[in-house]
């Protein structure tokens, strides 16, 4: 199972149909692909659905529906997965301490799986 391969297939969907999903896709000089789904881009529910599934490493499905809360209808999202440990701990858990000089950050997402950080999580 690879959260990177499955998430990348979803990212390609956004990239290949950027106009349909209301996203802006840019390739950086370093080769990274950046997807703007709401800063300069209009984004939308369908882009958000795919981004949710990317955040699950491609091992979960999201569906959007309307739900009433205190008499007001709100858009809501339902997420399901047959692989909760992979989709959450393997893809979302922010357990990678990144330190470069004075810069500090917590790494999460499918890229963290490439680094196998934290090691003990992936060993288990």
Q: Report how far residue 119's alpha carbon sits from residue 24's, in angstroms, rounded to the nearest whole number.
A: 34
pLDDT tens digits, one per residue of 70-122:
999 999 999 999 998 888 887 777 777 889 999 998 877 666 777 777 777 77
Q: Alpha-carbon distance 58 to 104, whole Å?
A: 28
Q: Are 98 and 49 in contact (CB under 8 A)?
A: no
CATH number at residue 45: 3.10.340
CA dihedral 84, 87, 88, 94 (to 10 degrees): 160
| Integer Cα distance of 66 and 70 in angstroms | 13
Predicted local distance difference test score (pLDDT) of residue 110: 65
For the chain, the domain total comes to: 1
Determine the structural domain holding residue 31 and report its residue range.
3-123
Task: List, for residues 29-85, the tens digit of each pLDDT value.
Answer: 999 899 999 999 999 999 999 999 998 989 999 999 999 999 999 999 999 999 988
């Amino acid at each position: 199972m690879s959260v990177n391969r499955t998430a990348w297939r979803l990212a390609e969907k956004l990239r290949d149909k950027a106009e349909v999903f209301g996203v802006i896709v840019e390739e950086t000089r370093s080769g990274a692909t950046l997807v703007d789904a709401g800063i300069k881009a209009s984004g939308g529910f369908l882009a958000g659905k795919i981004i949710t599934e990317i955040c699950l490493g491609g091992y979960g499905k999201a569906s959007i529906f309307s739900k009433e809360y205190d008499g007001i209808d709100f858009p809501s999202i339902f997420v399901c997965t047959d692989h909760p440990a992979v989709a959450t701990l393997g893809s979302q858990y922010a357990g990678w301490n990144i330190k470069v000089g004075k810069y500090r950050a917590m790494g999460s997402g499918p890229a963290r799986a490439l680094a196998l950080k934290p090691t003990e999580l992936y060993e288990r």
